[in-house]
A and B are shown apart, each in its own frame.
Chain A
Amino acid sequence: MGELRSGKGVDVEVTPGAIHMEPIVVDGFATTRLKDLLAWAQKYSLFMCPFVTACCGMEFMGVTSPRYDLARFGAEVPRFSPRQSDLLWVVGTITQRQAPILKRIYEQMAEPKWVVAFGTCASCGGFYDNYATVAGIDKIVPCDVYIPGCPPRPEGVLDGLMLLMDKIARRDTRPAIVKPRVDPVDLPTHGLVQLSKKRDSVA
């Protein structure tokens, strides 16, 4: 790991109180390697804080159980304190009454931190289009990965986690959404979708 040593002449700039790792070394290829190394380390040691409010929690338990085994991805340790975790799973419907709590939990987490919206309700409110529900947690906190589904299949959750890990490795902070592995229209056995395909072909 000789490349990581920053040699003479490299301008080291430390911002007081800065949380990001990036400004420590600003120039040269050694900088990018260090960031890559950090990102590689971060993506395999996600300490998660489950914020479970609704029925998606059952699926969350399923996906953390040995059958699907989140431990394979280094994300198996739930920390029920936001101060010790860096991945916030928002699992379930967030009501207007719950929103201040969610925001406070998010603000208590230390940088770097990521947020995953687990399920349709957390992503966009789902069918709860009413006075009580926040239509998507991105109205309250910035969200990194959206996992649609009511509830999502464990495979979808694993896809979302891998997507987040990929984003961390590339240091991409743009939000992302989990896509289905197979377009349902392509499934010949899916009766309802077959009907809609026929209707489309007529029109």
Chain B
Amino acid sequence: MAQRLVDLLKNQFALAVLETHAQHGDETVVLDPGSWHEVCRFLRDAPPAQMNMLTDLTAVDYPERDPRFEVVAHLYSLQHGHRLRLKTRVGDRSGEGANVDSLTDLWGSANWMERECFDMFGIRFVGHPDLRRILMYPEFVGHPLRRDYPAERIQPLVPYREGVNNEKLPPFRSFEGMPFGRQTHQESGPLGSGSDPELFPESLLPNGSNASS
């Protein structure tokens, strides 16, 4: 159904439409980033389109491509019931220059979605009224959904307690834990031995002084 829209865009913006394709009935138009806002305004206001709902706006990181990021917007028309997916490609290999026009003046829902996109991918939306992080905390460095963000890198706001087993491991071995009652998994250690003093030395425990009573 939205093929009509794709043809309309091809006629109206011959230079801006870089490529189009349709997959499983979903039409996609890849746009030049310079005309991103202009085409979106046309799609919102033109009577045959009337895309008055911005369903989603996000980005994809392809680190091997040269315009590295693909900003993806999904539009929907409540009047006509048709959908269209718009894409544009921004940013170089290092992630710099990822600038694209903000759509906040066209759809109010673009505000938080663009903030999330900026937070996760570091894409700058030019003209956004309040481009701050929305999910991560302001002290966070980097953009976690970029492919070059290390998977194991965490940035704690509170320093972790020292001496605790800080690796991501099960905190107990099978014979530990339940010092009373049934001991279904007890392998070694006397009844009531509790947990392992190697993993949990008494000096680290709360009220460690009276642990031995």
Contact = CB atoms under 8 A, between A and B. Distances in A.
A179 B210 contact: no
A136 B166 CA distance: 9
B158 A100 contact: yes
B62 interface: no
A179 B161 contact: no
B210 A20 contact: yes
A176 B151 CA distance: 31
Interface residues of B, number: 43
Contacts of A27: none
Interface in B162-176: 164, 166, 168-172, 176
Contacts of B205: 142, 173-175
A124 B170 contact: yes
Contacts of B144: 130-132
Interface string A3-25: 00000000000000000101000
B207 A99 contact: no
A183 B166 CA distance: 28
A140 B161 contact: yes
Contacts of A141: 161
Given A112-B207, A132-B136, A183-B184, A175 B195 contact: yes
B11 interface: no
Nearest to B154: A131
B46 interface: no
B137 A140 contact: no
A117 to B, nearest CB: 9
A177 B184 contact: no
A73 B18 CA distance: 68
Contacts, number: 121
Contacts of B154: 96, 131
A129 B169 CA distance: 11
A127 B136 CA distance: 19
A119 interface: no
Contacts of A178: 177-178
Given A140-B161, A174-B195, A183-B185, A163 B178 contact: yes
Contact of B161 (A97, A129, A139, A177): A139
B200 A174 contact: yes
Output the residue of B135, B171, B204, B205 with the most chain A CB within 10 A: B171
Interface of B: 135-137, 144, 149, 151, 153-158, 160-161, 164, 166, 168-172, 176-185, 194-195, 200, 202, 204-208, 210-211, 213
What 5 pairs between A and B have smallest CB-CB spacing? A177-B177, A142-B206, A174-B194, A131-B144, A139-B160
13 contacts: A96-B154, A96-B157, A100-B157, A111-B207, A124-B170, A129-B168, A131-B155, A134-B156, A170-B179, A173-B206, A176-B178, A179-B182, A181-B182
